[in-house]
């Protein structure tokens, strides 16, 4: 691997870590377009419970991985939400980078053979 490629990958990894670990803590918690569309047609009370109407949100079910360690953009067991999101984002980037690097390594070894 050339020195320039190594610096490029290191820089990309650093940017991804900063975005996932730090900047993601400042993302809006307001509902996005999909959430707004899913809520369209229903009425809600002060506790955000559906009180009437018909909407997609009534079909909502629990996710199969809702009890996983990295569920809901945080790490279960860490009370500080900033630190929890920072660590979950960092772990996600490192896991993704590791899997990608491993796949490229296997593909390269296969071409050399």
Indicate whether this model's pTM tops 0.75: no
Q: How would residue 1 be classed by pLDDT, with cut points 50, 70 and 90?
A: low
**Looking up tokens 């018909």, which residue turns up?**
54
Domain containing 101: what range? 3-112
More confident residue, 28 or 106: 106
- Per-residue confidence (pLDDT) for residue 96, from 0 to 100: 94
Give the integer Cα–Cα distance in Å for 48 and 38: 13
- Per-residue pLDDT tens for 83-99? 999 999 999 999 999 99
Torsional class of 56: left (φ above 0), alpha (ψ -120 to 50), beta (otherwise): alpha
pLDDT category at 111 given cuts 50, 70, 90 is confident
Q: How many domains does the chain have?
A: 1
Give the model confidence (pLDDT) of 24-80 as tens digits: 888 877 768 888 899 999 999 999 899 999 999 999 888 888 888 888 888 988 999
């Amino acid at each position: 691997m050339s020195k320039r490629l190594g610096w490029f990958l290191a820089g990309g990894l650093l940017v991804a870590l900063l975005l996932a670990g730090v900047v993601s803590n400042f993302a809006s918690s307001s509902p996005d377009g999909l959430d707004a569309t899913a809520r369209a047609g229903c009425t809600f009370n002060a506790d955000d419970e559906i009180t009437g109407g018909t909407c997609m949100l009534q079909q909502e079910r629990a996710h199969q991985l809702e009890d996983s360690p990295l569920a809901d953009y945080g790490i279960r067991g860490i009370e500080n939400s900033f630190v929890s999101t920072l660590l979950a984002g960092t772990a996600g980037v490192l896991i993704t980078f590791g899997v990608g690097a491993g796949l490229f390594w296997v593909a390269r070894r296969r071409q050399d053979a």
